[in-house]
Structure 1
Amino acid sequence: MRGLTGKRIVVCGGASGIGAATAARLAEEGARVLIGDIDIEGATATGKRITAAGGVAVAMEFDLADEESIQALFDRAVSEFGGLDGVFNVGADLSEATIGRDGDLLSLDPEVWRRTFEVNLLGYARTCRAAIPLLLTNGGGAIVNTSSNASFVGETVRPAYAASKAGINALTRHIAARWGKKGLRCNAISPGLVLSEKALQTMNEQFRAAGLAATRSTRLGKPDDLAGTVAFLMSDDAEWINGQVWSVNGGVALRE
């Protein structure tokens, strides 16, 4: 891909899964990567794998629900790399205490909604707010946010999660509309069922079989499927793509 060599990119949520795979792919393409995650052990392990393969990566602990922590992450990007060229937002609260209690609307728990929005949506707004001035200083750059099929398919449960992801779609379009003329591109990916390390540990065979039956593909997703898409959207090859939400889901949901 063109234009990723030497780029300085922050991955907000790179300890495992899609985030870790994307950090590795960006480094493989020549980018310098700062890996932030609340799971510092996982982020450090991701960074070590990248450096062992000849890439440039640094890990740092940060929390999407903590504004000071977010600012510190971007301050580190400036001190470590001298500036910023891109951001990949992929973190979310997928804990049993949060998404595990996100039932239908009649079982609404306001605390679940508050926590979901604090991390999944307000967290992204804060990372983007911290990043945008740095990107504009360099004449622009790229932001890629992680949405979800849940934002548009209409599930019987997880309304807080779905609403937070729909908010990410709106946030993505706002950023593209507001700063696109200044060289800033902002897009989002909308994954389907992806078999990350954690998913493989928690999903039973029946759930996976149901997910595969619903796709128009021969298999379920892998983190690398999303990593390649994000790397493309970060690259100069995607310089005329802005404000879009791309479904990367094996054809499980078809939309324009």
Structure 2
Amino acid sequence: MRGLNGKRIVVAGGATGIGAATAERLAEEGCRVLVGDVNADGAEATAGRITAAGGTAVAAVFDLSDEASVEALFERAVAEFGGVDGLFNVGADLSPATIGRDGDLSEMDVEVWRRTLEVNLLGYARTCHAAIPLMLRDGGGAIVNTSSSAAFVGEPLRPAYAASKAGVNALTRHVASRWGKEGIRCNGVSPGLVLSETGLATMSEEFKAGVLAAIRTPRLGKPSDLASAAAFLLSDDAEWINGQTWSIDGGGSLHD
């Protein structure tokens, strides 16, 4: 892809799954990658695989729910690489204690809603807030936010998660509208069911078969599917794409 070689990219949530695959794909394209995650061991493992393959990566521990931690992540990017050209937001609280208790509104747990929005939505606002001045200083940049098909489909459960991802879509449009003329692009990727290491441990064969039957391609998703889309949107090949959220879900959702 054009324009990725040498770029300085922060992956906010790069320890496992889609984030790890995207960090590795960006490094393959020649990017210098800061792998941030609350999972210190996972971030170190991702950065280690990148450097072992000849790429450039540094791991950093940070928490999307903590403003000082987010600011420190971007200070680390400046210290290591001199600035930031791109940001991939992919972290989310998918723990059993949070998304596992995200029932319908008749079972509403306000603390689950607060935690979900704090991490999944306010966390992305925090990282964008920290990244945008650095990008403006250097003439522009690109942001890719991870949404979810849950924002579109209207599930009977997980309303807090769905609301957080709908908010991410609105945040994406806001950043594109406010700073697009100043050289900042902001887009989103919306994954369907992706077979990551965490998902494989919790999904039954019956569930996977049901999802496969409902989509329009002959296999379920892999982290690399999202990695390639995110890398493209961060590249100069996507310089005329702004404010969009793409469904990367095997044709599971069809919408304008």
Normalised by the size of structure 1, how large is the TM-score? 1.00
Identity over the aligned pairs, expressed in percent? 73
Q: Which moved more, 1:166-175 or 1:209-218?
A: 209-218
Deviation for aligned residue 1:168: 0.2
Deviation for aligned residue 1:202: 1.2
Deviation for aligned residue 1:162: 0.1
Q: Which residue of 2 aligns with 1:201?
A: 201
- In the alignment, the residues of structure 2 paired with residue 246 and residue 155 of structure 1 have an alpha-carbon distance, to the nearest angstrom, of 19
Which of structure 1's runs of 4+ aligned residues deviate more than 4 A? Answer: none
Deviation for aligned residue 1:150: 0.3
- In the alignment, the residues of structure 1 paired with residue 120 and residue 84 of structure 2 have an alpha-carbon distance, to the nearest angstrom, of 22
- In the alignment, the residues of structure 2 paired with residue 110 and residue 84 of structure 1 have an alpha-carbon distance, to the nearest angstrom, of 36
Q: Amino acid of the residue matched to residue 66 of structure 1?
A: D
Aligned positions of 1:167-206 closer than 5 A: 167-206=167-206
Deviation for aligned residue 1:216: 0.6
Deviation for aligned residue 1:234: 0.4
- In the alignment, the residues of structure 1 paired with residue 173 and residue 139 of structure 2 have an alpha-carbon distance, to the nearest angstrom, of 19
Q: Amino acid of the residue matched to residue 235 of structure 1?
A: S
Q: What root-mean-square deviation, in Å, do the aligned CA atoms of Structure 1 and Structure 2 show?
A: 0.4
Aligned positions of 1:104-123 closer than 5 A: 104-123=104-123
Aligned positions of 1:92-241 closer than 5 A: 92-241=92-241
Q: Does 1:80 align with 2:80?
A: yes
Structure 2, unaligned stretches of length 5 or more? none
Aligned positions of 1:42-61 closer than 5 A: 42-61=42-61
Q: Which residue of 2 aligns with 1:15?
A: 15
Find the residue that maps to 1:129 and give its secondary structure. Answer: helix
Deviation for aligned residue 1:250: 0.1
Q: Amino acid of the residue matched to residue 33 of structure 1?
A: V
Deviation for aligned residue 1:192: 0.4
How many residues are treated as equivalent by the alignment? Answer: 256
Q: Amino acid of the residue matched to residue 38 of structure 2?
A: I
Q: Amino acid of the residue matched to residue 249 of structure 2?
A: N
Encode CA deviations 1:18-54: one digit per residue, 9 max, x unaligned.
0000000000000000000000100100000000111
- In the alignment, the residues of structure 1 paired with residue 6 and residue 14 of structure 2 have an alpha-carbon distance, to the nearest angstrom, of 19
Normalised by the size of structure 2, how large is the TM-score? 1.00
Encode CA deviations 1:120-179: one digit per residue, 9 max, x unaligned.
000000000000000001111000000000001100000000000000000000000000
Deviation for aligned residue 1:204: 1.0
- In the alignment, the residues of structure 2 paired with residue 20 and residue 226 of structure 1 have an alpha-carbon distance, to the nearest angstrom, of 11
Deviation for aligned residue 1:241: 0.2
Q: Amino acid of the residue matched to residue 252 of structure 2?
A: V
- In the alignment, the residues of structure 2 paired with residue 33 and residue 69 of structure 1 have an alpha-carbon distance, to the nearest angstrom, of 18
Q: Does 1:37 align with 2:33?
A: no
Structure 1, unaligned stretches of length 5 or more? none
- In the alignment, the residues of structure 2 paired with residue 209 and residue 19 of structure 1 have an alpha-carbon distance, to the nearest angstrom, of 25
- In the alignment, the residues of structure 2 paired with residue 44 and residue 219 of structure 1 have an alpha-carbon distance, to the nearest angstrom, of 30
